[in-house]
Structure 1
Amino acid sequence: MSRIDRDLNFNETWMRVSEGLERIYRIQEISPSSHGELYALIYYYCTNTQPQSSGSKIPRRPAQNNLHDGDQYQTYCEKNKLDDIVDFSVIVLSSNSWLFAAPSNFILPVELKKTFDSFIKFYTQQHTSRKLTWLHQHSKGDLQTLYTKPRYILHVSTYQMVVLLLFNKLSRWTVERMQEETQIKVDLFLQVLCGLLKSKLITCAEINDNEFDEDLKETDIKMNYNIQIAEDFKSKKIKINLNVPLKSVEQKDIEDLHRTIDEDRKMIIQAAIVRIMRARQTLKDALLMQEVIQQLSSRFEPEISVIKKCIDMLIEKEYLERQSNENDVLHYLA
């Protein structure tokens, strides 16, 4: 086992477990409630804790509210006569417990916008001090093809849905116009488009049929290429799962996770330094760093360079000061 593996604390390990559960949720098409039960069982097993509600056999997933399952939003729609709302379920997660990257902005199609707007209005009425951030990179939905026989049900990501719904407006688009219409970031948009071309749901006049295979890359798609819906699309399956993780989305989540972990560790190191210095009042740099490492070694292995940065930060905040005649001696000020 490498040093990196040994050095993982619970938050890092749990993030990987949670990511695996998210993939199960996407790929296996299980319901939100079943996913929540699976999540909770593994969470409580890993943390060796018990659910707070003593009467429930299956613990609830921490920091989660499934408002749609409680029929609150459905009641709201009926009361306000919102009968053209897309059928959907929402899981509201606390940003304090879930380390997800905020998605880049894009333009919601008219088929989805009214539903999203109505839910935001409903939610803000219930929780005036909270703000919702849609995690489109972890959302999914079903589309039905009305132009094929038989009619297929496509299980797609939100990004794929946004692209495919363009063909309700026009049957042919250039790549450039599609990207401008959706405002999805170019690199992400090309990933989505490449996957849809491989599925053969859409076609490109400038790309030969034998190129629609695993060798097709985003860099092969030019902005002036013409894209159209494949009206002769055929599949042996009626339900087709097209929802696969995107590299750029996964990478951003991983980068944000490591950034969050680094910031959390700095706060933990600073707290340890303050505790030690409050007790000792005066201490040399080397001895302080040694004590910090000893105190935190059960959680993670602090790097010397990071400890030094934290000491400098605490000096700037006027928690500590260096002795004038001995620069390697620190005094506690508070």
Structure 2
Amino acid sequence: MSLLKSQFIFENAWPCMRPIILKLLKQEPVTQAEWQDLFYSVHQVCLDEKGPPKLRDALKEDIMDFIKQAQQRVMAHQEEQALLKAYIAEWRKFFTQCNYLPTPFRQLEASLRGKTSTSMQKKNQPDESIVRKLMLDSWNQSIFNDIKQRLQDSAMRLVRTERNGEVFDSQLVIGVRESYVNLCSNTSDKLEIYRNNFEAAYIEATEAFYWVKAPEQLSLYGVEKYMRYAETKLKEEELRAQKYLEPNSASVQLLMERCVKVLVANFRTAILAECPRMIQQHQTEKLRLMLKLMDRVPEGVTPMLVDLEEHIATAGLDDMMAAVDIITQDSEKYVERLLDLFRRFSTLVKEAFDDDPRFLTARDKAYKLVVNDSSVFKLDLPVRQGAGGTSLIPPAPIIGTIASLGSGINSKPANNNNGQPESKCPELLANYCDMLLRKTPLSKKLTSDEIESKLRDVLLVLKYVQNKDVFMRYHKAHLTRRLILDTSADSEKEENMVEWLREVGMPADYVNKLARMFQDIKVSQDLNQQFKEQCRAAIADSINIKILNAGAWARGSERVTVSLPLQLEDYIPEVEEFYKKKHSGRKLQWYHHMSNGTITFSNQVGRFDVDVTTFQMAVLFAWNQRPLEKISYENLRLATELPDPELRRTLWSLCAFPKIKRQLIVADPPTHSPKDFSQATKFWVNQEFAIVKNGKLQKRGKINLVGRLQLSTERSKEEDNQSIVQLRILRVQEAIIKILKMRKKITNSQLQTELVDILKNMFLPSKKMIKEQIEWLIEHKYIRRHDNDINTFVYMA
């Protein structure tokens, strides 16, 4: 009985419902009464269990009939654009109804799904409308499948005509895409149909177009014009893709990746082959364009970075070698050359690569090679370090207090067998700083701001120097000389330089020692004033003393014995007695090679004041009682008690001082170097010595023969280099212990990495040096190897 009732309800309701449904499908007007009747009829049909399936099937049949009629109207058009227009018009009308028609059938959908609790609906996403899905699936299965390929091909041909410069209605392609996007009824992947069909076809068609066009362009116009072509087409395709592809998807990115591949990556070798030439010729606009293209290709920029590094290293070294005769004789020209190279390469990176961090890093790496290259200037550190103790005897100009320096870990340094030549750049940078900070013709012609600017330039180059400890060693020696001889051009700049060194990351212990030197000089000035107030007037007018602390002024140069003139010997006991009253328990040590004075020299020409070193003074005073005699080399050695190397150098400075035309001392036989002096060589005072200005002899005047002899002995260079190596050994050992104290246990590779990180601001330790110091520390039981792994080290408390 219920079955008959169900059939009766559906059969009576459907004839009333169908006309309204057809009107809705055809977008014809529906009255409010008809709309309400449709809701009621659906409700009546759904009251019975058998009614909903019958209603769904009948609805599907009418929808399919409507779609077939629409298909016939579309297929009636043979011309491509007319076909697309007809399809898009039919689709848009149908798709609009997909949003309206399901509304009266909500109860049907609920009946077909089964009862769903309100709580479940709130908890989960609402289900896709069954009627809407039915409509979309029906369209997809019939008209869309039948003409899908034709639609797709037509749309792609229209896009191709646009690439060839023709104009068409872009809405045709956009409409086709919209149908692909909206047709999908899969709620988990709304773009499935679009992605598998339209997107894939669009990308393939684009790739196929440029697969033919790109090689033609490269062959016809060459790399430079092709790069402009590729950049233009990439921009065009990106704009076109934003118009024709689905915006809320990854389509544009996928297309651009394929375009980059076919337009750029496929010709990467040919494009990059031009990079070295463009860099060399400073073709910045073309390099900028090349970077834009290669930046789109994975690892595409890497060869450009290599080319830039090679260019900077090669051009920089070639430039230095071309001027080797000039720069080897003049530290100012050497530093200016380095700075000019840095500015030139920085300008290239800015103009061609817009200061891209990757290219700045490449510039820094290559410039560091130039700065640290040892082919132009070479500093040979000793191959083997002596096994003596590490306590150093500090210098002092006339008098210095001696303090014992701690020896750190190593009281007997291990041998250093590196023997690798290093760049002399840090030494020359220190020399240049000295020229700027000392009273020189260079510093006198520059303003204070110009000197500061040039010092800042030095610090810029210093940033790239690997062996910064060498710079600090020479900078400290020059500073010592300037402070002792009172030759600083600007004391404020001197102290500022120390702070600038701190700012650029120089090791704190180095910088602190420099700062202490200024404090010592100020304390020494007070002591000197007190000494003058307490001693005889004759002494006060003729002597100045500097008493300095060993901790700040320490260096490895040996003290040199010399027999002082009696006039100086008389002062020493008084100075020592004065100091003992001030500081009991401290010992003074005289450093005569750092002392200087002024003597009055008289001959038949005139009377001259001559600034001389203590060694020069000792030699000249040998003639004080016998001014006209000739004295042999051997007798001068006995009279002065100077070591042979120092006596030779001192005599040579008096016989062949480069800045004067008439020398103070004459040697017989004449020689070409200090090594040519023999025991029998005779020396005598030149009675015709005079100061010559503008070709005229002067009867009065002052001349400085001190030159650059101060603080320098025959062995000082070798000792400086040895002390650098010795200090490096101590630094490596201290750093290893510091790391192991913190880590307790560490592998060899980790240790080397951390060690380089700690020491990089001073120097880069070689693997050989690290290995030797590890072995030394193991031997002396500071560390040990792990029982189960020889490449792991353990700290021994």
Q: TM-score range by the shorter chain?
A: 0.7 to 0.9
d(CA) in 1 for partners of 2:793, 2:527? 57
Query: What's the CA shift for 1:119?
Result: 1.6
2:387 is the counterpart of 1:17: no
* Correspondence list, 1:220-239, <5 A: 220-236=676-692, 237=698, 238-239=701-702
1:303 equivalent in structure 2: 766
**Structure-2 change in CA distance of 1:63 and 1:13 (3 Å):** farther
Residue in structure 2 matched with residue 256 of structure 1 by the alignment = 719
Aligned partner of 1:157 in structure 2 is 613
Instruction: Determine the structure 2 residue equivalent to 1:201.
Output: 664
Inter-partner Cα distance in structure 2 for 1:40 and 1:230: 43
CA separation in 1, counterparts of 2:480 and 2:731? 29
Do 2:782 and 2:795's aligned partners in 1 also have CA atoms closer than 8 Å?
yes
Q: 2:568 aligns with which of 108, 112, 125?
A: 112
Query: What is residue 649 of structure 2 aligned with on the other side?
Result: 191
| 1:140, distance to aligned residue in structure 2 (A) | 1.5
Look up the match of 2:306: none
Q: Which has the larger radius of gyration?
A: 2
Are residues 279 and 229 of structure 1, via their aligned partners in 2, closer, same or farther at CA, if it must alter by over 3 Å? closer
User: Which moved further from structure 2: 285-294 or 61-70?
Assistant: 61-70
The count of corresponding residues between Structure 1 and Structure 2 is 311
Question: Counterpart of 2:729 in structure 1: which amino acid?
Answer: K
Aligned partner of 1:315 among 760, 778, 787: 778
Instruction: Report the CA distance between 1:196 and its aligned residue.
Output: 1.4
- Preserved CA contact (<8 Å) 1:296 1:302: yes
CA–CA distance in structure 2, aligned partners of residues 295 and 232 of structure 1? 61
Query: How far apart are the structure 2 equivalents of 1:235 and 1:228?
Result: 18
Q: What SS is found at the alignment partner of 2:597?
A: strand
**2:533 pairs with one of 75, 88, 108:** 75
With structure 1 as the length reference, what TM-score do the two structures score? Answer: 0.78
Following superposition, the deviation at residue 113 of structure 1 comes to: 0.8
User: Which has the higher mean CA deviation after the structures are superposed, 230-239 or 163-172?
Assistant: 230-239
Matches of 1:188 and 1:194, distance apart in 2: 10
SS at match of 2:607: coil
Please state how far the C-alpha of 1:61 moved relative to its aligned partner. 1.4
Unpaired segments of 5 or more residues in structure 1? Answer: 50-58
CA contact 2:655–2:664 (8 Å) conserved in 1: yes
- Per-residue CA distance 1:142-196 (angstroms, 9 max, x = gap): 1102444531111111111110011113332211101111111112211211221
In 2, distance between residues paired with 1:285 and 1:67?
52
Given the superposition, is the C-alpha separation of residues 252 and 93 from structure 1 closer, same or farther in structure 2, using an over 3 Å criterion?
farther
Q: For 2:743 and 2:483, how far apart are their aligned partners in 1?
A: 51
Equivalent position amino acid for 1:305 in 2: K
1:97 alignment counterpart: 552
- 663, 672, 679: which one aligns with 1:216: 672
CA offsets 1:13-69 (integer angstroms, 9 cap, x no match): 23333444566679xxx74687755533432343349xxxxxxxxx98143332467
Residues 272, 75 of structure 1: alpha-carbon distance in 2 compared, 3 angstrom cutoff: same
Counterpart of 1:61, as a letter, is F
For the 8 Å contact 2:596–2:611, the answer to whether it is kept is yes
Q: Confirm or deny: 8 A CA contact 1:282 1:330 kept in the other structure.
A: yes
Tell me, yes or no, if structure 1 residue 2 matches structure 2 residue 372. yes
DSSP-derived class of the 1:249 partner: coil
Range with bigger deviation, 155-164 or 286-295? 286-295
Task: Work out whether residues 160 and 196 of structure 1, in 8 Å CA contact, stay in contact via their aligned partners in 2.
Answer: yes
1:40 has 2:40 as partner: no
Q: Could you list the runs of 5+ residues in structure 2 that have no partner in the other structure?
A: 1-370, 374-422, 426-464, 505-515, 657-661, 693-697
Q: Distance in 2 between matches of 1:88 and 1:41?
A: 30
Distance 1:249 1:298, change over 3 A: closer
2-structure distance, mates of 1:244, 1:128: 37
SS in 1 for 2:467: coil
Which residue number corresponds to residue 282 of structure 1?
745
Bigger relative contact order (CA 8 A; separation at least 6): 1
Q: Distance in 1 between matches of 2:712 and 2:517?
A: 28
Equivalent residue letter for 1:202: I
Query: Which position in structure 2 is the counterpart of 1:240?
Result: 703
In 2: Cα distance, 1:289 partner to 1:60 partner: 35
String of CA shifts for 1:197-235, please: whole Å, max 9, x gaps: 23532233x33xxx5xxx732133221122222234333
**How far, CA to CA, are the matches of 2:529 and 2:487 in structure 1?**
14
Moved more, 39-48 or 137-146: 39-48
Structure 1 CA distance for aligned equivalents of residues 477 and 638 of structure 2: 31
Alpha-carbon distance between aligned partners in 1 of 2:685 and 2:478, rounded to the nearest angstrom: 33
| Aligned amino acid, residue 553 of structure 2 | W
Q: Hey, what does 1:122 align to over in structure 2? A: 578
AA of the residue aligned to 1:63:
D
> Do the aligned partners of 1:188 and 1:248 also contact (CA within 8 Å) in 2?
no
1:88 equivalenced with 2:570 (yes/no): no
- For the aligned residue pairs, the C-alpha RMSD in angstroms reads 3.3
CA distance in 2: counterparts of 1:302 and 1:188, whole angstroms: 35
